Amino acid sequence: MIAVDMQRAAKLGSENNFHIAADSVDGYKGKHAGGWKATTARNFTLTTNQGINKCSSSRFAAVNSRLNFSVKLRTMQSRTKIPAGSFRARRQGRKPMQLLLRITMAAITPPIWRLIRVSDQFTLHQLHRVLQIVFSHLDYHLYAFQLESRHFEAPDPESEAEDATATRLCDLALSPGSQFTYIYDFGDGWEHNIAVEAVVPMPSEHGPDWSPRLLDGERAAPPEDAGGPSGFMEMMEALKDGNHPRHEEIRNWVGSAYDPVKFDAWAVDHALALAVAWGAV
């Protein structure tokens, strides 16, 4: 049983994308004064300190917001996985924040960059997944983060690095101007320079927005296994020159739709939103 203040529950339901469902309905006694709209058309168990009556979810649409209710939930989860440490942070008085990160691929001109917004409660492993999506990587290879002398990787018995799945962004004491590096594919060696542009409050104190967002960016990222920055630059030369001896080979390999100049921020942000909805971030 979870104690829920109805005014707060309304905000949680609308701002934090919670799904609330249960099996049957026990109602309440008292005046119908609140006007809170139920977040689901399904029935659920409701018990109050005012007593118990049977009711449907449609009658529950008007609830006395001054009362405290105990709601027996079958499911209550946000679309983004929230690390357990974030709840400890709130108990310790630290408010979750959002980070604006500008990520630029190293050693490539013209620059390929993305501007994203992420919760500081994300682990480095979650950030890795966000970067895979916004740079159109395929997650075939190993990755690492470097922050000054610290090195983070996914858990591996042979790795001596810190655990990226257990390290949250808020644990790194990041502030505007902080910089660190994301490395993907130790063979090709794609380095991504990450700069913290701003640390901003959540949109609402009542319902933190945990979902990452892509805000802006330029140019398409290199195809997977393009040979690192030097191989990619050679590939670009071949694509630009129809008389280049490897032009047809490279064009067939990357596909006719690949255009290094174009970047569809809306489509990539949509893909990121779907990944969050499917629990993949």
Which of 34, 49, 77 delimits the end of a domain? 77
Contact 122, 169 (CB under 8 A): yes
Give yes or no for residue 149 having a pLDDT over 90.
yes
Angle, CA of 40, 52 and 67, to the nearest 5° = 70
| Token pair belonging to 209 | 């927005």
In this structure, the answer to whether residues 95 and 207 fall within a common structural domain is yes
Contact 67, 30 (CB under 8 A): yes
- Average pLDDT over all residues of the chain: 76
Between 11 and 265, residue with greater pLDDT: 265
In this structure, the answer to whether residues 126 and 204 fall within a common structural domain is yes
The answer to the question of residue 70 being in a domain is yes
The answer to the question of residue 233 being in a domain is no
**Site of tokens 């939930």:** 73
In this structure, the answer to whether residues 12 and 106 fall within a common structural domain is no
105: which DSSP letter? E
**Site of tokens 């630059």:** 233
* pLDDT tens readout for residues 254-267: 999 999 999 999 99
Q: How many helices (H) and strands (E) does the chain have?
A: 6, 13
In this structure, the answer to whether residues 184 and 111 fall within a common structural domain is yes
In this structure, the answer to whether residues 43 and 154 fall within a common structural domain is no
The answer to the question of residue 256 being in a domain is no
Angle, CA of 189, 191 and 197, to the nearest 5° = 170
Q: What is the mean pLDDT of residues 237-250?
A: 95
Give yes or no for residue 151 having a pLDDT over 60.
yes
The answer to the question of residue 254 being in a domain is no
Q: How far apart are CA 211 and CA 232, in angstroms?
A: 32
Share above pLDDT 70 across residues of the chain, in percent, rounded to a whole number: 65
The answer to the question of residue 258 being in a domain is no
| Token pair belonging to 60 | 């529950």
| Token pair belonging to 97 | 């924040």
Q: How far apart are CA 159 and CA 154, in angstroms?
A: 8
SS3 call for 87: helix
Which of 77, 106, 128 delimits the end of a domain? 77
Beta-bridge partners for 136: none
Can you give the CATH number for the domain in which 165 is found? 3.10.290.30
The answer to the question of residue 167 being in a domain is yes
Q: What is the mean pLDDT of residues 50-61?
A: 36
The answer to the question of residue 213 being in a domain is yes
Residues 6+ apart with CB under 8 A from 133: 268, 271, 272, 275, 281
Does the pTM surpass 0.85? The reply is: no
Residue 134 exposure: Cα atoms within 13 Å on the Cβ side? 32
At residue 89, the pLDDT reads: 52
Contact 182, 131 (CB under 8 A): yes
* pLDDT tens readout for residues 99-125: 999 999 999 999 999 999 999 999 999
In this structure, the answer to whether residues 164 and 58 fall within a common structural domain is no
Domains contained in the chain, number: 2
Q: How far apart are CA 142 and CA 154, in angstroms?
A: 8
Residue 62 lies in domain: 2-77
SS3 call for 17: coil
